[in-house]
Amino acid sequence: MRILLFSNSTNAGEEYLSYTIPYIHEFTQGKKYEAVFIPYAGVTISWDEYSAEVASKLLTTGIHLNPIHKSADPIKAILNAEMIIVGGGNTFNLLKTLEDNKLLKFIREKVIAGVPYIGWSAGSNMACPTIRTTNDMPIVEPKSFNALGLFPFQINPHYTDAVDKNHAGETREMRINEFIEANKDMYVAGLREGTLFQINGNKLELKGSKSCRIFKHGKAASELKSGDDFSFLMQ
């Protein structure tokens, strides 16, 4: 498998997708791709607008986008894809629409067979076994929470250590601790903004300047940085 998973699309004060472009250049290694783009996570933006915005940002990467919602046969579009890109937004809307179009099985098979996959935010959640570590509100109801299951651990995108002194609700860490209490066999990787995971085969690498917070039931949460060994997450 060849997978690139960003925590977020945009760093504070930067243009949309700007920090992702150098990593995408490195990922494609100068090869041109006809990529199927899945904008289903977009809710307050039309899928046409969403696709056009992403296409304009990826012009320099050699990736040409084919928005899946414009295809008369979405399954055929996936079967013929040279690359699959899944944008961020609302993870529940993304999953439900993939289910409605019966695409999960075909995307999974293509990526396992070696078709490159790029996702950010909700698109990163979708690569996990389940979407139950998303931060999103369940604005629609999918048939299940099962996602693509391309690897055996969970990602929490946009992970933050921030604590608002004027807010008495749960922190992100508290919510993830609830997840691992209910799912004792699962690792969760808190992926901070500006960082990403790259998977080549069974090799998993963290990229970016911030560390990743690792959660597992019965263990103290730990911090790993770029260059550290993440192989245990793939087992």
For residue range 35-86, list pLDDT tens digits in order.
Answer: 999 999 999 999 999 999 999 999 999 999 999 999 999 999 999 999 999 9
Contact yes or no for 101/74 (Cβ under 8 A): yes
Is residue 177 domain-resident? no
Question: What single-letter DSSP state applies at residue 202?
Answer: T
Catalytic residue among 7, 9, 69, 136: 136
Is residue 176 domain-resident? no
The span from the CA of 152 to the CA of 192, in Å, is 19
Catalytic residue among 64, 158, 211, 217: 158
The span from the CA of 170 to the CA of 175, in Å, is 6
Please give the residue range of the domain that contains residue 69.
2-162+190-214+223-234
Is residue 96 domain-resident? yes
Look at the alpha carbons of 27, 226, 94, 234 in this order and tell me if their dihedral is positive or negative.
positive
Task: Say what the pLDDT of residue 170 is.
Answer: 85
Catalytic (active site) residue 136: yes
Is residue 86 domain-resident? yes
Of 29, 22, 21, the closest CA to residue 2 belongs to 29
Q: How many domains are contained in the chain?
A: 1
Is residue 124 domain-resident? yes
For residue range 189-222, list pLDDT tens digits in order.
Answer: 999 999 999 999 999 999 999 999 999 999 999 9
Is residue 71 domain-resident? yes
- pTM metric for this prediction: 0.96
Catalytic (active site) residue 64: no
List CB contacts of 200: < 8 A, sequence separation 6 or more. 1, 2
Contact yes or no for 42/50 (Cβ under 8 A): yes
Is residue 113 domain-resident? yes
List CB contacts of 103: < 8 A, sequence separation 6 or more. 68, 74, 75, 78
Of 227, 233, 171, the closest CA to residue 202 belongs to 233
pLDDT category of residue 162 using cuts at 50, 70 and 90:
confident
Is residue 204 domain-resident? yes
Longest Cα–Cα distance in the chain: 51
pLDDT at 167 over 80: no
Task: Say what the pLDDT of residue 210 is.
Answer: 97
Catalytic (active site) residue 121: yes
Give the mean model confidence (pLDDT) for residues 13-19: 96
The span from the CA of 95 to the CA of 102, in Å, is 10
Q: What is the CATH number of the domain that holds 133?
A: 3.40.50.880
Task: Say what the pLDDT of residue 72 is.
Answer: 96
For residue range 169-184, list pLDDT tens digits in order.
Answer: 789 999 999 999 999 9
